[in-house]
Chain A
Amino acid sequence: MTMLEEAKEKWTGAINEVVIGATKAEGGTRAAGVTIGGDKSLPFMHYEAPIKNRPIVALEVWDREPDDWPQPLMEALGDAVKSPVAWAKKGIEEFGADLICLKLMSTHPDFGDATAKDAVQTVKAVLAATSAPLIIWGCEHDEKDNEVLPRCSEAAKGEKCLMGVVTEDNYKTLVASCIADGHSLIGLSPIDINIAKQINILVMEMGFPANRIVMYPTTGALGYGLEYCYSIQERGRVAALSGDKMMAMPVICMVGQEAWHAKEARAPKEEAPDWGDEKTRGLFWEIATAVALLEAGSDILVLRHPAAIKATKDTINKLMA
């Protein structure tokens, strides 16, 4: 019998390594930073190249109590949702999230219109309450973000936060802040590999380092465009591994936000008696989406349900074993 040679893809490129969070020695106050990216092969192809950094899981935390999240999710989170500080603390200490993704929802003009000062206080309080790295996400209202995020950036100076989001139409203000305060950035593109690359170029042409950019190519939940997002992410990764340095940025996915938006995750039992237990349906939807996107090459998964965090981390452990 002849031995078959193992077919290995020979890639010329690699995904950039991005560090989130700075320790005291590095000028911040985090217990440890977390590094993502660095892959030299498609996800979990251990035999092609060793995987340097495992994907990480963030808990999505809002600065105001969500009023339209389904009951099973709210029950799992408990009273913590009333305070971003308690929510974040619980996320790290109990749920086992690697880091916190703090969404400044209350600053949106339609959802409370909280001031930059309020947002700065929240950011400072969350940073004080946990020692995990922090993602700071604006309300995606361009004018308001440009007012609020630079102040948050300044308040978190040195902490090497990951801040977002910038788009093709609105990037200059936040890029300038992140350059000044040493943070990393999230570039949002609407499921378009070209626009993702264009944002990276625009940001870098302002002098921003490539190894501080994370791409958010937008996320689709299971049954709601997941396969489209999957293939966009995969194409991006193949381009990066083939040597396109402008696509070599790690990827963040807003899994919880999208999964819990699906009708299948939200519908109460009375509306869909045949769809199975309401308590686990949404959770499974979130896990299924998260696990699929791991295989597409996601580096940060932002989740909502504590059990989804656990299940996704278990899966990562298995895939890394």
Chain B
Amino acid sequence: MKTFSVKFLPDDKTVQATAGKSVLEAAIVAGIPINSVCGGDGVCGKCRVIVKSGQVEAEPNVFLTRREIQRGMALACRTFIQGDLVIEVPLESRVGGVPQLASEDAVRFGRISERVGEGAVFARNPLCRKEYLELSAPCLDDNISDQERLYRELRQRRDLPIMQMGLAILQKLPDLLRKSDWKATALLGHRGGTTEVMDVEAGNTSQKQLGIALDVGTTTVVAHLVDLQSSETLATQAKYNSQISLGDDVISRIMYSSTDTRRKQLRDLIVNDINDLIAGLMMASKVRLHDVTYIVCAGNTTMVHLLLGLDPANIRRDPYVPCVSLPPAIRAVEIGIKINPRGLLLALPSVSSYVGGDVVADVLVTGMTDSPDLSLLIDMGTNGELVIGNAEWLVCCSASAGPAFEGGGITCGMRATRGAIEHLTLSAGGAIAEVSIVGGGKPLGICGSGLIDAIAELLRNGCIDRRGRFVETACGGKLREAESGEPEIVLFPGDQTALGKDIVLTEADINNFIHSKGAIYMAAECLMAHVDLSFNDLKHVYIAGGFGNYLNIERGVEIGLLPDIERQKFHFVGNGSVQGAKIVLLSRDALAYVQTRIADAMTYFELSSDHKYMNEYSSCLFLPHTNIEKFPSLRNKIGAGGGTPAAAPSAGPRRSATAGSARRK
């Protein structure tokens, strides 16, 4: 088979590829992160590239306009190599950049940091920790073995009935103890009732005990380097999950992982991401990799399966059974993660195929299981998860909200990275009054929080009706017909944007978003009804997920995403996965708690089995809701038959919008 060279710009990377392979496949080999929501099925239209020169064979598609095709634009997954190529990957098609770290904002939600340590709920006792020992030298009166000597010393300090030591440690033990003058540090790992001496180091290294809390998300991967002695976070790193190039959501990745080779490919991608993040943490904090001995990760069930190299196929097959819900602690090196070669990796337990360790971590972070108060947790994302309960009980469900919150399925949608419109205020006629863009500069696209703002503001100004359709007379000439024939509003004309391309919002975009927000609200309502309670019974509503952190509550209520209850009941959790992983990293008690009080205590409620869901779903496909009486505080603003909604924005959103701008660097 003929091979050709494919050069990618602006990266200037060249790879060899056989004829007939797709440009997307070549890009994956080259390590160029191309956005491919559908995983190469040719149905999302996001993997746009420009063929600068060379011979290709392209399948026809509906995503590109005639003008774009004339400019050489092509879909990477539907364009096949027929000669030496030069391919440009435009900014909009890159899974690039660094995601926004939500954790800094989570500090506002002060309870997290108070969960571990003296006087807190959980004692600081990591599952993996170091113990400095000064052993007495052997003599004829005391000539027990080196191993027994070490055990004896440890047992004098702690109650450790069962201890183990591997052959590799034994092999180096005699020499090490004698050379270090019987002063050594033992690295201990606890599994069930057994304590393993994982490593022995010469001298006192007990001051150097580091762990990593990891959030393995479908979209983003976040790592925090934590000093296990002081609980201090030394550095943080985040990046997009490289598996995105093989599928945007868990289902498409499960489908992709159908063979051993592909499963390995997926695992390698995430493991490389994690190793990259760890390397970044080391650089930033100037510590030694050798001192990192423990990783705790939280992720949804599928992501944990893919990380551990387990077959996730049954997760999406009736009756939806995962391979494991409580994965054992393993050596990180076994799956290729580079920390101390003896170091452990632990994944938080999951509840079911669709309620994973990430949700368990969220619940841990909120502390809702410590209190008799009724709380609702909403983790917003492509697969939304909701948990309701208190110290006595927990019920959860998952809601497929679609990718709109992360910018998917939206013409100018993007994730919350540099260039994304994060907050927006409009004035009459849909003119931009205030805008804040991640990282500043010109806008590139619009992310979830920006969409919420845009839709809420269009509604406030009467530019759209409550069904999400444009009202031509109120759009001040900003409305036009898209190439597809549907109406769209131009938020930013090309001369004000980063790519010189208009940033628009189409009726289909608004409609997609309404379906997403409707799915979340409906799930919350069904969950409440299932336990025979109402939103007014809630004392707290916790909003988790990277997207949730930047969400403007007032506008979230205005469009019917969030229930209309007192605004002070809402709290942002930020990245609950990484915070929860951190708590477990620091406390073995927290691990037991997570298992018994959260994962085991949670009852999964299948929404699709609920008649109410299908009957009432269409009532949520309205702004804010068909039954306005469910949104009493909005009644005066968008009163029944009260004409167009009030145009003046209330004080609430403004305040939050300022806070949002201040957060950006």
Contact = CB atoms under 8 A, between A and B. Distances in A.
A202 B621 CA distance: 13
A67 to B, nearest CB: 32
B467 A204 contact: no
Interface string A164-201: 00001100100000000000000000001011011001
B466 A194 contact: no
A9 interface: no
A203 to B, nearest CB: 9
Given A168-B467, A201-B466, A205-B466, A194 B616 contact: yes
B526 to A, nearest CB: 15
Given A194-B619, A198-B622, A169 B640 contact: no
Nearest to A208: B641
B641 to A, nearest CB: 4
A172 to B, nearest CB: 8
Contacts of B640: 201, 204, 245-246
Nearest to A197: B626
A202 to B, nearest CB: 6
Q: What are the 4 tightest A-B residue pairs by CB atom distance, in nearest-first order?
A: A204-B641, A194-B619, A194-B618, A194-B626
B644 interface: yes
B38 to A, nearest CB: 28
Contact of B642 (A172, A197, A202, A205): A205
A259 interface: no
B469 A201 contact: no
A277 to B, nearest CB: 41
A7 B342 CA distance: 77
Contacts of B525: none
Contact of B465 (A197, A202, A244, A245): A202
B643 A198 contact: no
Interface in B592-629: 616, 618-619, 621-622, 626-628
Interface string B638-653: 0011111000000000
A210 B641 contact: yes
Contacts of A197: 619, 626-627
15 contacts: A168-B467, A169-B469, A172-B471, A192-B618, A194-B622, A194-B626, A197-B626, A197-B627, A198-B466, A198-B467, A198-B621, A204-B641, A205-B466, A244-B627, A246-B640
A21 to B, nearest CB: 24
Contacts of B618: 192, 194-195
Interface in A198-242: 198, 201-202, 204-205, 207, 210
A207 B469 contact: no
A204 B628 CA distance: 14
Contacts of A245: 640
A210 to B, nearest CB: 7
Nearest to B617: A194
Contacts of B466: 198, 201-202, 205
Give the interface size bracket for B toward A.
Answer: 10 to 19
Contacts of B644: 205
Interface in B177-205: none
Given A202-B467, A207-B643, A246-B626, 4 more contacts: A168-B467, A201-B640, A205-B465, A205-B642
Contacts of A205: 465-466, 641-644
A210 B643 CA distance: 13
A169 B468 CA distance: 10
Interface string B384-419: 000000000000000000000000000000000000
A72 to B, nearest CB: 39
User: Most A CB atoms within 10 A — which of B469, B471, B618, B621?
Assistant: B618
Contacts of A172: 471
User: Most A CB atoms within 10 A — which of B465, B616, B621, B643?
Assistant: B465
A169 B618 CA distance: 15
Contacts of A246: 626, 628, 640
Interface string B151-194: 00000000000000000000000000000000000000000000
Contacts of B628: 201, 246
Contacts of B619: 194, 197
A235 to B, nearest CB: 9
B18 to A, nearest CB: 49
A311 to B, nearest CB: 34
Nearest to A199: B467
Contacts of B621: 194, 198
A195 B619 CA distance: 7
Interface string B115-157: 0000000000000000000000000000000000000000000
Nearest to A172: B471
A194 B619 CA distance: 5
Contacts of B627: 197, 244
A207 B643 CA distance: 6
A10 to B, nearest CB: 20
Contacts of B471: 172
Contacts of A168: 467, 469
Contacts of A202: 465-467
Contacts of A192: 618
A319 B513 CA distance: 48
A23 B618 CA distance: 41
Contacts of A195: 618
A202 B627 CA distance: 13
Contacts of A207: 641, 643
B614 to A, nearest CB: 11
Contacts of B622: 194, 198, 201
Contacts of B642: 205
A202 B465 CA distance: 7
A168 B626 CA distance: 13
